[in-house]
């Protein structure tokens, strides 16, 4: 047994994982750093960072994710968007992975997920890689010694990148698998070294359990005004839309950059760290995130680096477009010390529009906000998922369909009720293209997006004159101080107005077709109202 804190009643043996060679429990970041180096898992980077590669899978593998179809749970899972695994296959997979661990060195991290003590859970990671354990320690929330001495896992993750799944034996698709059993409260990850699978699996688990507790789980970043935790803004969006970048603002306190809950108590971060994309990272526009890539223990994934200086190359994407760094929230000077705050006053729906037809910002009615939440329109950016080489327009319900076990309408109803009670201002923000589609136009500068967000947050934007967009129905400012008014009218930024009209018609048609998939059922009136409003 390793020398970290552990509850004797919650050892691996007590939890049904016998025969491990050496189990290191809850080692500190320096100890895990040292072991990752000694085991040849990583290289030391500039400033004491940890440089790692994840193997052939450098992003999430959504087609390799499965939920076990189990009595008592199956009826509440949306099988239209989630792949099922037979319980017997899961049991075989779990037994085979536990057998794989026999005699091997393992790293166990016992962590909290959820800053609100009323809604947090205990999560245990059993990993065969020291750097995966360090990553997990960064990304979730560390219990104190008292919490560890009484720790009993509510959910256990077993991560074995070196174990190759067998589709015929385990009922999966390839030699990689991410399988989740709600009845067993267990998540199995095999055949992939991409560390992001562990944190996203925990998020998926809570996306299933939280609605029964009346908590709205959100794939979003969040911050609040400095000194005023009741002035909260949340930023919904898929990877690559700017959640981390836009919420990391020295003028505001960062609650978290990716995953949150919204309960009767307010907004709370599920995590204790950040997992930021680093491709093209610029110290001028993203100074706080850039600074973390020089701090001790920051895990830097899949980045090319100078073998002499150990400086990472932020533009060389020869390993992957999905270059990332993982670090504790404490590395961000503006981060919240508690991870909890009030209910949102502003909701921003972030989209990366590869069509180039959406304005940089638009005001939404509550109905439109729920419509865009259910639609989840954006463009997948290169590297986030396997096989994505250029931006691909997509609709991902709730801005996180791969992580949503339940039907999207259930999450939409939760958000609708939360908006009704809190009455936040709602906005759609395009961080994608203008002046043409991808390949023709240009990406909207981050400085312009920051300026618009600042004006929205301090109330100045709401006091301006707006026009109703004839195509999408939302309201767009006519003019904004310090912003080229042409950007607020996307049609005017295109050299070929007819091409703009064709792209707009194409996107509108995609919105309409996508929304038809939602089951109206008992929500017929509500969803019909959303369609009419948009």
- pTM for the structure as a whole: 0.93
The conformation of residue 506, written as its DSSP 8-state character, comes to H
Question: Cα(246)–Cα(221) distance, rounded to whole angstroms?
Answer: 9
Whether residue 307 is predicted with pLDDT greater than 70 in this model: the reply is yes
Q: Are 476 and 466 in contact (CB under 8 A)?
A: yes
Q: What percent of the chain clears pLDDT 70, i.e. is strictly above it?
A: 95
- Residue 288: count other Cβ atoms within 10 Å of its Cβ: 19
What confidence tens digit (pLDDT) does each residue in 90-127 have? 999 999 999 999 999 999 999 999 999 999 999 999 99
Q: Which helix (H) or strand (E) holds 524?
A: helix 524-533
Whether residue 495 is predicted with pLDDT greater than 60 in this model: the reply is yes
pLDDT of 382? 55
Question: Cα(500)–Cα(490) distance, rounded to whole angstroms?
Answer: 8
Residue 48 Cα distances to 37, 151, 256, 272, 498, angstroms: 12, 31, 24, 20, 54
Residues acting as catalytic residues: 60, 200, 219, 239, 243-244, 258, 324
- Helices and strands, number each (H, E), in the chain: 14, 28
pLDDT of 360? 98
- For the residues 288-299, what does the mean pLDDT come to? 97
Structure token digits, residue 517 = 């998939």
Q: Are 305 and 293 in contact (CB under 8 A)?
A: no
Structure token digits, residue 293 = 């890539």
Structure token digits, residue 208 = 């299933």
pLDDT of 529? 57
Whether residue 522 is predicted with pLDDT greater than 70 in this model: the reply is no
CA–centroid distance for 177 within its chain? 19
2 vs 135, more confident: 135
CA–centroid distance for 291 within its chain? 21
CA dihedral 512, 404, 210, 414 (to 10 degrees): 0
In this prediction, residue 342 has a pLDDT band, given cuts at 50, 70 and 90, of: very high
Question: Cα(42)–Cα(490) distance, rounded to whole angstroms?
Answer: 46
Dihedrals φ, ψ of 297, to 5°? 85, -10
Whether residue 455 is predicted with pLDDT greater than 80 in this model: the reply is yes
Its sign, for the CA torsion 352, 355, 359, 362, is negative
The conformation of residue 20, written as its DSSP 8-state character, comes to B
Angle value at C-alpha 349, between 202 and 492, nearest 5 degrees: 145
| Of 231, 235, 227, 228, residue with least CA distance to 452 | 235
What confidence tens digit (pLDDT) does each residue in 212-236 have? 999 999 999 999 999 999 999 999 9
pLDDT of 380? 72
Whether residue 527 is predicted with pLDDT greater than 60 in this model: the reply is no
Average the pLDDT over each of 149-158, 159-168, 191-200, 510-519 and give the range with the smallest value. Answer: 510-519
pLDDT of 533? 58
Dihedrals φ, ψ of 73, to 5°? -125, -25
pLDDT of 346? 98
What confidence tens digit (pLDDT) does each residue in 9-30 have? 899 999 999 999 999 999 999 9
| Of 444, 439, 447, residue with least CA distance to 487 | 444
pLDDT of 383? 52
pLDDT of 532? 61
What confidence tens digit (pLDDT) does each residue in 371-383 have? 999 999 998 765 5
**DSSP letter string, 140-151:** SB---HHHHHT-
Structure token digits, residue 470 = 């004839």
Question: Cα(309)–Cα(331) distance, rounded to whole angstroms?
Answer: 22
- Residue 213: count other Cβ atoms within 10 Å of its Cβ: 11
Structure token digits, residue 428 = 């759609």
- For the residues 310-316, what does the mean pLDDT come to? 96
pLDDT of 386? 55
**What rounded mean pLDDT belongs to the chain?**
93
What confidence tens digit (pLDDT) does each residue in 426-454 have? 999 999 999 999 889 999 999 999 999 99
- Residue 47: count other Cβ atoms within 10 Å of its Cβ: 15
Classify burial at 229, counting beta carbons within 10 Å of its beta carbon; exposed 0-12, middle 13-18, buried 19 or more: middle
Angle value at C-alpha 343, between 226 and 272, nearest 5 degrees: 65
Strands 425-430 and 344-351: parallel
Question: Cα(56)–Cα(260) distance, rounded to whole angstroms?
Answer: 30
CA dihedral 500, 504, 510, 511 (to 10 degrees): 150
Q: Are 102 and 116 in contact (CB under 8 A)?
A: no
**DSSP letter string, 36-47:** HHHTTS-EE-GG
What confidence tens digit (pLDDT) does each residue in 53-99 have? 999 999 999 999 999 999 999 999 999 999 999 999 999 999 999 99
pLDDT of 289? 95
In this prediction, residue 523 has a pLDDT band, given cuts at 50, 70 and 90, of: very low
């Amino acid at each position: 047994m390793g020398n970290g804190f552990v509850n004797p009643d919650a050892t691996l043996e007590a939890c049904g994982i016998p025969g491990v060679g050496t189990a290191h429990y809850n080692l500190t970041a320096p100890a895990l750093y040292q072991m990752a180096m000694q085991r040849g898992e990583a290289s030391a980077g500039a400033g004491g960072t940890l440089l790692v590669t994840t193997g052939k899978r450098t992003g999430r593998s959504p087609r390799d994710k499965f939920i076990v179809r189990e009595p008592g749970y199956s009826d509440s899972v949306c099988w239209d968007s989630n792949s099922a695994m037979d319980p017997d296959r899961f049991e075989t997979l779990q037994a085979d992975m536990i057998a794989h661990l026999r005699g091997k060195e393992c790293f166990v991290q016992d962590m909290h997920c959820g800053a609100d003590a009323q809604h947090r859970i205990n999560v245990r990671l059993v990993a065969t890689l020291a750097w995966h354990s360090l990553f997990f320690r960064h990304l979730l929330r560390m219990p104190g010694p008292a919490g560890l001495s009484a720790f009993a896992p509510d959910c256990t993750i077993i991560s074995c990148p070196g174990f190759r799944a067998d589709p015929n034996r385990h009922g999966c698709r390839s030699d990689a698998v991410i399988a989740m059993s709600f009845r067993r409260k267990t998540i199995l990850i095999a055949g992939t070294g991409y560390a992001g699978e562990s944190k996203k699996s925990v998020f998926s688990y809570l996306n299933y359990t939280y609605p029964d507790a009346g908590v709205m789980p959100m794939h979003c970043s969040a911050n609040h005004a400095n000194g005023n935790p009741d002035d909260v803004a949340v930023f919904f969006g898929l990877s690559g839309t700017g959640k981390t970048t836009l919420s990391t603002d020295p003028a505001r306190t960062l609650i978290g950059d990716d995953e949150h809950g919204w309960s009767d108590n307010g907004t709370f971060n599920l995590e204790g760290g950040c997992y930021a994309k680093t491709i093209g990272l610029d110290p001028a526009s993203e100074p706080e995130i850039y600074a973390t890539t020089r701090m001790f223990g920051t895990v830097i994934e899949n980045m090319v680096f100078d073998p002499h200086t150990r400086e990472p190359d932020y533009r060389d994407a020869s390993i992957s477009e999905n270059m990332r760094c993982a670090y504790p929230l404490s590395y961000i000077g503006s981060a919240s010390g508690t991870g909890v705050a009030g209910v949102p006053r502003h909701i921003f729906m972030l989209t990366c529009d590869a069509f180039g037809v959406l304005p940089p910002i638009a005001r939404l009615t509550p109905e439109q906000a729920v419509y865009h939440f259910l639609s989840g329109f954006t463009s997948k950016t290169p590297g986030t998922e396997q096989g994505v080489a250029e931006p691909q327009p997509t609709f991902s319900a709730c801005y996180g369909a791969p992580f949503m076990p339940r039907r999207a309408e259930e999450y939409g109803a939760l958000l609708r009720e939360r908006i009704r009670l809190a009455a936040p201002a709602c906005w759609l923000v395009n961080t994608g293209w203008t002046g043409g589609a991808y390949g023709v136009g240009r990406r909207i500068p981050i400085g312009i997006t920051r300026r618009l967000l600042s004006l929205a947050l301090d109330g100045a934007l709401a006091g301006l004159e707006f026009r109703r967009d004839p195509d999408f129905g939302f309201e767009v400012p006519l003019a904004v101080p310090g912003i080229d008014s042409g950007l607020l009218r996307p049609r005017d930024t295109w050299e070929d107005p007819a091409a703009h009209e064709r792209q707009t018609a194409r996107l509108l048609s995609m919105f309409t077709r996508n929304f038809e998939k939602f089951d109206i059922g008992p929500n017929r009136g509500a969803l019909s109202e959303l369609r009419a409003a948009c």
